[in-house]
Amino acid sequence: MKRKSNTALFLSIFFILASCSRSESADDTASSSWAPDDNVIAVSVEVLEITRGQLIPFVEASGTVSGQQEAWTVSETQGKITEIAVQLGQKVKKGDLLLKVEDSLSRLNRDLTLQQYESARHDFEAISKSFQSGGSSKSDYNRARSTVLQAQASFENADKAFNDTGIRAPFAGSVALLDNTLTVGSYLTRGVLVARIVDTTYMKMEISLGERQIGLIKEGSQASVTIGRGEYPIVVEANVTAIGTGSDPATGSFPLLLTWKNDQEQTLRSGLSARVQIVTDVENKNIVIPSSAIINRDRVKSVILEDNGKTVIRSIKTGESLGGQTVILEGLAEGEILIVSALSSLGDNYPVAASVIGTTGEWR
C-alpha cells in the first residue's frame, strides 16, 4: 500500500515538471517573434536631403579642338622656288613671307605696265582739261579715258602677278603644316597647298547636338572642355558662342560652337580630341531623386524616408526618368530625408542611424 502511494506521488511530480517545461518553451517561442521596438539596434543607412535639381544637368559631346583662325596658303603663280622663309612650328605675323618664287619676269612686266599706266593717265588729264575748255572733242575724251582704264587694269594684273610670287601669311599665327616636298630650286605650280597657318590665341570646338539636347542650351552657356585622354588631360572653361538656327539635313543634328581664350599655347594645339560638358539652362527645377531609391510596396511606387530616427514609407507619383534619376511629381517635399541604402531590410517605423551623403538635386 505504501509502494502505490509513492508511485502516485512520483507521477504527479513528473507531470507538473513537464507542464512547466512546455509553458517556458511556449514563452520562448513567443518572445523570438521579432518586431521593431525601442530596444532593437538601429540599422545604419545612407540618406540624401531632398532638394530640387535638373534631370539633365549637363549635355555631353566629343570632337576636336581647332584654332579660331586656320587657313591653307595656296600658290597662285608658278615658277622656280628661290626662298623658303619659314619652318614648321614657326610663329609668323600677318603679311610675313612664307615662300618666294623667281620674279624677274613679273617684276619687269609690272614696271612696264606701270609706265604705260602713268603715261596714259597724264595724257587723259591733259585731254580732260582741253575737253573742258572746248579744245578737244568728246570722242578724243572718251578714247583717252578708255586708254587709261585699260592701262590701269593691265598694271593691276601685273602688280598682282608680281605679288603672287611671294606667298605670305594671311594672319598672325604659327606654321602648323608645311609641304616638305617644296625645296629651293624646285618648280612650284598653281594651286599647291604650301603651308597651313593656325592662330591659337583663341580656340574653338564645333560639335553637333540632337533636337532634345539643343533645347537645353543657349548662347553664353558655360562648358567644361577636357582635352586629351592621357594621365594629365587639360581642362579649360569655355562658353557657347553660336548655335545653328537649322539642323543638318543629313543627320538632323544642330551645330554648336564653343570658344575660349588659350592660356596654354605651348601644350594646347589644333586637332586634339576633346570631351565637353555643357551646363543646361533650365529655369524650373523639379524634385529629382535616384531611381534606385524607389521601391514597390503593394504595387505602389514608394520611397522610405527618415524622420526622427525612424523610417516612414511614403507613396509617390513619378515623372520622367533618365540616367538613373527620376522626377517626382507628388509625394515629396524639399528638406525631407530620403533613405538610399539597405532598402530591402527596412519596413515602416524601423529605427535607423542615418548618415547624410549629399542632396538629391546634385546626386549622380
Q: Which residues, including other chains, have CB under 8 Å from residue 30's CB and lie 6 or more apart? A: none
19 has pLDDT over 90: no
pLDDT on residue 283: 62
pLDDT on residue 14: 44
Grade residue 292 by pLDDT with cuts at 50, 70 and 90: very high
Both 248 and 290 in one domain: the answer is no
User: The domain that contains 269 carries what CATH number?
Assistant: 2.40.30.170
When mean pLDDT is compared across 17-26, 122-131, 313-322, the lowest value belongs to 17-26
d(CA 127, CA 140): 7
pLDDT on residue 349: 92
The phi-psi region of residue 176 (left if phi > 0; otherwise alpha if psi is between -120 and 50; otherwise beta) is: alpha
* Three-state DSSP class for residue 214: helix
Chosen domain end from 260, 279, 298: 279
b or e along 27-65 (b: 16 or more beta carbons within 10 Å of the residue's beta carbon)? eeeeeeeeebeeeeeebebebbbbbebbbbbbbebebeb
d(CA 66, CA 78): 31
What does the chain come to in residues? 364
Both 267 and 296 in one domain: the answer is no
CB 341 within 8 A of CB 354: no
pLDDT 10s digits, 187-200: 999 999 999 999 99
Q: Is residue 111 part of a domain?
A: yes
Burial class from Cβ neighbours inside 10 Å (0-12, 13-18, 19+) for residue 274 reads buried
Domain housing 142: 103-164
User: The domain that contains 136 carries what CATH number?
Assistant: 1.10.287
- When pLDDT is averaged across residues 152-158 and rounded to a whole number, the result is 95
Grade residue 216 by pLDDT with cuts at 50, 70 and 90: confident
pLDDT on residue 282: 65
Q: Which residues, including other chains, have CB under 8 Å from residue 218's CB and lie 6 or more apart? A: 240, 243, 281
d(CA 166, CA 97): 6
Chosen domain end from 113, 141, 164: 164
Q: Is residue 12 part of a domain?
A: no
pLDDT on residue 57: 81
- When pLDDT is averaged across residues 55-60 and rounded to a whole number, the result is 83
Q: Average pLDDT, whole number, for the chain? A: 86
- When pLDDT is averaged across residues 316-325 and rounded to a whole number, the result is 87
Grid cell 507542464 is found at 19
Q: Is residue 320 part of a domain?
A: yes
29 has pLDDT over 50: no
**Confidence (pTM):** 0.64
Chosen domain end from 227, 256, 279: 279
Q: Is residue 341 part of a domain?
A: yes
For residue 156 the three cell numbers come to 593691276
pLDDT on residue 38: 57
